[in-house]
Amino acid sequence: MQPVIPFSLPESEAQAIALQSQLAHQIITTDKQNTANPINIIAGVDVAYCNDSDVFFAAVVLLDAQTLAVTVTTQAKALFPYIVSYAARY
């Protein structure tokens, strides 16, 4: 299974902040068991930047909610500099 990204990746700090604000409202943070709309995928994400470089390492783990299977990872160049505590804003 490969993830589908239904939006363009941000190319600036302003675009990243706007996208994060938009996506933050879609995160489920409480257990809302609902048989009509069950949770099928659990995701975890982390990013680490190399000092003085535009290279970062991103790990995305997608787990099947029933089997806990599947891991996806990637490496790419950052399109804008690291923003201190950016991910902690939401």
| pLDDT digit string, tens, across residues 50-84 | 777 777 777 778 888 889 887 666 666 777 777 76
Model confidence, pTM: 0.54
pLDDT on residue 90: 44
Kindly write down the DSSP assignment for every residue of the chain, as one continuous string: ------SPPPSSHHHHHHHHHHHHTT---S----TTS---EEEEEEEEEPTTSSEEEEEEEEEETTT----EEEEEE-SS---TT-GGG-
| pLDDT digit string, tens, across residues 13-41 | 888 888 888 888 887 777 677 677 777 88
Total residue count of the chain as it appears in this document:
90
